[in-house]
Amino acid sequence: MTHQPQQSPQFFLTAPSPCPYLEGQLERKVFTHLVGGRASELNDLLTQGGFRRSQNIAYRPACENCRACVSVRILAGEFKQDKSMRRVWNRNRDLIGNIHHAEPSTEQYSLFRHYLDARHNKGGMSEMTVLDYAMMVEDTHVPTQIIEYRRRGPDSFITKKGEGELIAVALTDMMGDGLSMVYSFFNPEHASRSLGTFMILDHIQRAAAAGLPHVYLGYWVEGSRKMQYKIRYKPQEHLGPKGWERQD
């Protein structure tokens, strides 16, 4: 019997588990695998439909009694920095982001470990080993890049590279209609730089310069303080029952 490859992805549903964002809530996710020659196309379609990528899995919330998770994307071409964002941008003018293939390094993992220990030592990622980190970066079948942020050097205008210590890292998917920020981390000892904000601003500028309309930030969770930062970047769109709706 001739085997016919499946043309449509198969979707699966996770069992209920405690929600990491809202106390007392249970979360469930629907997910599928991103593999094969159509992985990039499928990732674009699913991301536009509210999914997120983690390694070779695309997932989205499918909670029975809660709809707090809302997919957010920034309209990069229309975005204007407010006063506090301009201060963050100017504070980090000495940094430059250099693009690499999605390949892990010991320097990246050392920074990642420092970030988790300082900011998320009780989170679900707190026990990630160097091999777990390598899988997070490498296990992708879609166009993915690592952006490493370092201080500018005297020849950065020629080399397009920073020099010195690694200060921040972003793992980013390149899509047909924008950039999707998969995960980012930074040196917590540079808290005054507001590096999380800076990396989002940098991605907005990169998307706009490339003529890409969107920067995908994942989920804003209403009622979760640690997710409130995502709705600062206006204009943006939220995915609802009627599709993507503008928020100014």
> What band does 111 get if pLDDT is binned at 50, 70 and 90?
very high
Q: What is the extent of the structural domain holding 95?
A: 73-217
In this structure, what CATH number is given to the domain that contains residue 193?
A: 3.40.630.30
Output the average pLDDT for the chain: 93
> Is residue 224 in a domain?
no
The confidence score (pLDDT) of residue 20 equals: 87
The confidence score (pLDDT) of residue 1 equals: 43
pLDDT at 109 over 70: yes
> What band does 9 get if pLDDT is binned at 50, 70 and 90?
confident
Q: Mean of the pLDDT values across residues 111-124?
A: 84
> Is residue 8 in a domain?
no
Task: Tell me how far apart the alpha carbons of residues 89 and 79 are, in angstroms, rounded to a whole number.
Answer: 14
Q: Is the peptide bond before 235 cis (omega within 30 degrees of 0)?
A: yes
> Is residue 30 in a domain?
no
> Is residue 116 in a domain?
yes
Q: Mean of the pLDDT values across residues 89-104?
A: 96
> Is residue 97 in a domain?
yes
CA distance to 35, 99, 198, 199, per residue, from 149 (Å): 30, 9, 10, 9
- pLDDT digits 0-9 by tens, 196-221: 999 999 999 999 999 999 999 999 99
Of 102, 128, 103, the closest CA to residue 113 belongs to: 128
The confidence score (pLDDT) of residue 123 equals: 65
Of 10, 62, 1, the closest CA to residue 36 belongs to: 10
The confidence score (pLDDT) of residue 226 equals: 85
> Is residue 100 in a domain?
yes
- pLDDT digits 0-9 by tens, 37-94: 999 999 999 999 999 999 999 999 999 889 999 999 999 999 999 999 999 999 999 9
pLDDT at 35 over 70: yes
> Is residue 237 in a domain?
no
Contacts of 39 (CB under 8 A, 6+ apart): 56, 141, 142
> Is residue 186 in a domain?
yes
Helix (H) or strand (E) holding 113: helix 106-119
What are the tokens at 89?
Answer: 């941008």
How many distinct structural domains can be found in the chain?
1
The confidence score (pLDDT) of residue 120 equals: 75
Highest mean pLDDT among 2-11, 38-47, 124-133, 219-228: 38-47
CA distance to 132, 170, 191, per residue, from 197 (Å): 26, 12, 11
- pLDDT digits 0-9 by tens, 128-165: 999 999 999 999 999 999 999 999 988 878 787 889 99
For residues 221 and 22, is the Cβ–Cβ distance under 8 A?
Answer: yes
* Of 32-36, 160-164, 165-169, minimum mean pLDDT range: 160-164
